[in-house]
Amino acid sequence: MHAENRSPSVFLPSTASELLELRRKMPRATLWAGGTGLMSRYYPYPYPLSRDIISLCNVPELSRISRTERYLDIGAAARLDQVLTVGHHILPPLLAKALREVGPSPITGRATIGGNLCIPDLRLNLAGALSLFSVQVELRGDPSLRTQSRQISLNKLYRKEGGLALKETEVLTRIRIAFEQGDFQQFHHIGFPYRHPDEAVIFCVFVNHGESSISDFRFSLTFPSIGIFRDKEIESLVISTSLPLKSWEIQGASMVLKKTLQSYSSRILPIQHAREVQAFERSLTQLNTRSVSR
């Protein structure tokens, strides 16, 4: 009877292999990094979800950040402040803004990049922003694999029906972001994605353009409790149009977006719909303004 009330056991592995061994033995243990997500949904003692906690704080490999000429490699337990400090000059502005807007310094000083990506039922700032880049995540701990780890694209980390496509014993260990230069990048969150996921939206856009036309256009719309929306058709509608965009071109792209969003999910609220479409139109208008003022 009293076993229910025992204090959860906390395990503090100091290497990645220790962590994976613990994870294999206790697949249902709660993985603990910054804890900003877990604690804010916290149920006071006795904790109903798991009797065991594996803390990632003492695994230096998971908080290491390194860079090559082409990639930025970030350990999954790296704090957001740490990523912002180290990658201040090399992070794409869109990604830097997404990191900064996770919260004020008491939050970003504790929250981790892996934590932000791995809340199963929420898609937050980083998931939306990173979906525009070529991002690989490293997963370790799958016993059926001969190799120690597998690399998948970030988009494959999320199931379409919600939740994470991770095996029971797997742990997200690294995130690899390919460097890309963009002429126009924007990140906006409207509402509070964490507090009010059903109303908030996140809009990200990444554009490359020459003197007179758009050569690359990517955008993502994130509905925190539903998923991330990207549409290649709308992107290809905008690509190769000449700058400045005509108002009918903006209206046309926006109309297609409105229709596609209606068929995307019935759970999108009208307020989210309106917010995303407006953000999309505004970004195209701002792109126009910028191209004219160049």
- Residues near another protein, by CB under 8 A: 7-10, 32, 35-36, 39-42, 44-47, 53, 55, 57, 100, 103-107, 109-110, 195
Give the E-state strand segments of 127-200 in sequence order: 135-140, 149-153, 171-178, 184-190
Least distance in Å: CB of 255 to another protein? 36
Least distance in Å: CB of 192 to another protein? 10
Least distance in Å: CB of 127 to another protein? 20
Q: What are phi and psi of 206, to 5 degrees?
A: -135, 120
Q: Which is nearer to another protein, 4 or 69 (CB)?
A: 4
Q: Which alpha helices (H) appear in the chain, and where do they start and end?
A: 16-25, 36-40, 80-86, 93-100, 105-108, 113-117, 125-130, 232-238, 247-264, 270-293
Cα distance between residue 61 and residue 38, in whole Å: 22
Least distance in Å: CB of 292 to another protein? 27
Least distance in Å: CB of 224 to another protein? 16
DSSP state, 212?
S
Least distance in Å: CB of 72 to another protein? 24
Q: Which residues contact 146 (CB under 8 A, 6 or more apart)?
A: none
Q: Which is nearer to another protein, 12 or 237 (CB)?
A: 12
Q: Which is nearer to another protein, 46 or 120 (CB)?
A: 46
Q: Which is nearer to another protein, 98 or 228 (CB)?
A: 98
Three-state SS at 45: coil
Cα distance between residue 8 and residue 44, in whole Å: 12
Tokens of 147: 């190799």
Least distance in Å: CB of 64 to another protein? 20
Cα distance between residue 255 and residue 249, in whole Å: 10
Q: Which residues contact 156 (CB under 8 A, 6 or more apart)?
A: 165
